Chain A
Amino acid sequence: MRTSAIHIIATAIMLLGLLQAAAPEARAETDDMVTVPAGDFLPFYADGNSAQSVPAFRLDRYPVTNAQFLAFIQATPRWRRDAAPPIFVDKGYLRQWGSETQLGSEAPANHPVTRVSWFAARAYCRAQGKRLPTQTEWEYAGRWGNTSADGLLTAEAVERQIRNYANGSRRVEKDVTTIAPDKLGLVGMHELVWEWVEDFEASSVVGGDRGKDGKTEALFCGGAVLAATDSRDYAAFMRYAFRSSLQPTHTLPSLGFRCAADIQ
């Protein structure tokens, strides 16, 4: 059942290799963004068992930093924490900042900005002429270079990601320039903060060991029992579960974002 999908992916990976080689000029045009080449992607929770094709797109090299978000706030005062309406941000919005317009010691300039809602993240990206990546785009880019021949994440990569996610209360926000880039040139996809995606609520797959007895699967149209395509990928379970716990107004201390853009 899955073999066909795996074939597609394996082929896609070969093609991607070629595309990647052809990408440098696109990458050179903006150093702050990375071109993610087109390819096929088997979603973690798939409707059926088919891979999805992802057109090429650009993605911010780094998560958006405090300094960048401050510049946005200065240009767009209605997103200051004393001005943004509660229908868009909850009361934790930018709470770690020193003041309305100053970062302060809790929010170093080069650390990823956190405590921003989905609405605020979208507004930031729009102001840059960008948008939030879709969940599929983020996941596709985030596993780049970490897949084995069957298109699934390598055990080593899963383990590394789990270690980064499951680190408890130890703060992970670091200077974004201190993290080594991945094979695509992206920095901190798994090492820094959780990141908003445009369609985060599409992850609303609530598990539980009673999911199969009828009610939980009815959460999804057509009664499709959404099974994970790679039950060993505990890191993906964690990301999808995290997203499904979110409300668009949430401003969490470990949640930031980066922007994406279409290739015209």
Chain B
Amino acid sequence: MKRQFATGLILALGIVGCKVQPTTTASGPKELVLVDIEKLPIEKAMLGFAPKVAPPVARDHQARVVVELEATERIGRLADGVEYLFWTFGDTVPGPMIRVRQGDYVELHMKNHEDSKLPHNIDLHAVKGPGGGAEATLVAPGEHKSFSFRALKPGVYVYHCATPPVGMHVANGMYGLIVVEPEEGLAAVDREYYVMQSEFYTKGNFGEPGLQEFSADRAMAEDPGYVVFNGAVGALTGDNAMKANVGERVRLFVGNGGPNLVSSFHVIGEVFETVYHEGGLTKNHNVQTTLIPAGGATMVEFSLKVPGDYLLVDHSLFRAFNKGALGMLKVEGKENLALFRHGAHDKRGVEEAAVQTADSHEGHDETEKAPVNAVKPDESAAVEVDGGKVYARTCASCHMPDGTGLKGTFPALTGSKVAMDDKQAVQTVLRGRRGNYGFMPPHGHLSDEEVAAVLTHIRKSFGNEGEPVKAEDVKALRGS
């Protein structure tokens, strides 16, 4: 799924990518000379579906780029067991990444699917012109419109639907990124990914199952049920995690669709070596957390030194751990204990430690291969509550779908003493727990049956073999 476009990328950028960086000197950026539209070669834009990016521009000249987008309204997955009626560009949230070169003449064709109930349009923040294209593209269901603009300013820009009620169209998923590369191109990197944060204002709270309606009240109160990366809880974790290798340089294009919240974007365990502040050309270096405004974007670059799992979060942390704003970059490669290790420096331990880590990686992969739903159902548990589903929507974002947790951040459930202890297990779920790893929030909103089912599930999964937990025991402990 996450193909290796690194090769193509390097080939593409090999020619233009390694040239001089875009220059913004005191005298200002160098002047853009526009080629007559009639003389431009016409090409169809290659779009990028998150987390894939659109391929880098391989041209050293301007072109007339034809972009085709279609607005749709369709029901999709927001979290496990939770559905939402998304309004989309290109049937995906976020909408496809558009990528052009500074000076290109972009011809944007906007279709609205015949089954749509509402009109839609597009406002691209890369446009210099009234409404960013909104007026020209307001399109009724089943119809088609277009507008054209010259991509004058390089940068990373948000596009979004701007049909009244604008906030609702954005809240339902209508946003994406358009990247305008400078004439010199972007510096070559090994991997690029496309990430977009946004919130969803569901009538029910996080995890409440079923088809969730949009709540205008919650949107106005700026109280989302979900804050997610790439349109759904888990869109960038588990099997969907982004992948890279030690020694590679990674670039993330990160947008924030909003519609309300500002993102404090952070990758746990990484330092952004370069941040293109607010998606512009001003570079900042060695940044831990960068602010991405609603309706704004950024571009961050970092080189990978140490293997492991790196979590993408909105560092407004309750959004990350309670509303879904988590993503993951899995980095494989050889340990470099000189750069990072558990414990104090130990010359002799270097090689052993490397072997150990490799082993644990093997084990990790194996547990990953056992899908959650392959676990044999527990006969004694009440049939109506599926512990696996409760786990998926309540626990998996931290303890991971395979129960392995995250070293140093979230404890693994495989072989967990707490999970195997009847009293501690129930109390931890109901009241939370403060441990070596930090703080786990209480989940007292789960019913006795749900707590029993999820604990039973944990005890029968992830290599564990334990006794089922009964709902009446949960009830007794809840009362105590």
Contact = CB atoms under 8 A, between A and B. Distances in A.
A219 B130 CA distance: 11
Given A232-B220, A238-B165, A241-B164, A167 B85 contact: yes
Interface string A241-262: 1101111001011100000000
B239 interface: no
Interface string A189-210: 0000000000000000111111
A253 B121 CA distance: 19
A206 B138 contact: yes
Contact of A168 (B115, B131, B164): B115
B135 A206 contact: yes
A216 interface: yes
A205 B121 CA distance: 13
B134 A159 contact: no
Given A92-B142, A254-B117, A234 B165 contact: yes
B89 to A, nearest CB: 15
Interface centre among B115, B163, B168 (most CB of A within 10 A): B163
A166 B162 contact: no
B164 A207 contact: yes
Contacts of A162: 214, 216
B132 interface: yes
A64 interface: no
Contacts of A104: none
A242 B118 contact: yes
A133 B74 CA distance: 32
Given A208-B162, A232-B220, A254-B117, A169 B134 contact: no
Contact of B135 (A92, A216, A238, A250): A216
A216 B138 contact: no
A254 B73 CA distance: 14
Contacts of B113: 169
B135 A245 contact: no
Contacts of A232: 216, 220
B166 to A, nearest CB: 6
Given A167-B117, A169-B74, A206 B134 contact: yes
A166 B214 CA distance: 9
B239 to A, nearest CB: 28
A158 interface: yes
A44 to B, nearest CB: 10
Nearest to A158: B216
Given A216-B130, A246-B140, A253-B141, A168 B75 contact: yes
A208 B132 contact: yes
Interface string B229-263: 00000000000000000000000000000000000
Interface size class of B (residues with CB under 8 A): 35 or more
A166 B85 contact: yes
A166 B141 CA distance: 13
Interface string A160-202: 0011011111001000000000000000000000000000000
B288 interface: no
Contact of B118 (A155, A207, A219, A241): A241
B335 interface: no
A214 B121 CA distance: 19
A242 B123 contact: no
B216 A210 contact: no
A240 B162 CA distance: 14
A250 to B, nearest CB: 6
A72 interface: no
Interface centre among B164, B165, B213 (most CB of A within 10 A): B164
A2 interface: no
B359 interface: no
B139 interface: yes
Contacts of A167: 85, 117
B165 A237 contact: yes
Interface in B138-154: 138-143
Interface in A204-230: 205-211, 214-216, 219
Contacts of A209: 123, 162, 166, 295
A185 B158 CA distance: 46
A252 B216 contact: no
Interface string B204-224: 000000000110110010000
A238 B118 contact: yes
A238 B220 CA distance: 16
B117 A165 contact: yes
B85 A207 contact: no
Given A245-B139, A246-B140, A252-B141, A207 B134 contact: yes
A168 B141 contact: no
A168 B123 contact: no
Nearest to B168: A234
Contacts of A210: 123, 130-132, 134, 162
B166 A208 contact: yes
Interface string B289-301: 0000001000000
A158 B123 CA distance: 27
Contacts of B119: 241-242, 244-245
A215 to B, nearest CB: 3
Contacts of A241: 118-119, 138, 163-165
Contacts of A237: 164-165, 168
Contacts of A159: 216-217
**3 tightest CB-CB pairs across the interface, nearest first?**
A245-B119, A215-B130, A169-B115
30 contacts: A92-B142, A159-B216, A165-B117, A166-B118, A167-B85, A168-B116, A168-B117, A206-B134, A206-B135, A207-B166, A208-B131, A208-B132, A209-B162, A209-B166, A210-B131, A215-B130, A215-B131, A216-B131, A234-B168, A237-B164, A237-B168, A241-B119, A241-B163, A241-B165, A245-B138, A245-B143, A246-B140, A252-B141, A252-B142, A253-B115
Interface of A: 92, 155, 158-159, 162-163, 165-169, 172, 205-211, 214-216, 219, 232, 234, 237-238, 240-242, 244-247, 250, 252-254
Given A165-B117, A244-B119, 10 more contacts: A163-B213, A168-B73, A168-B75, A168-B116, A169-B113, A208-B135, A232-B216, A238-B118, A241-B164, A245-B139
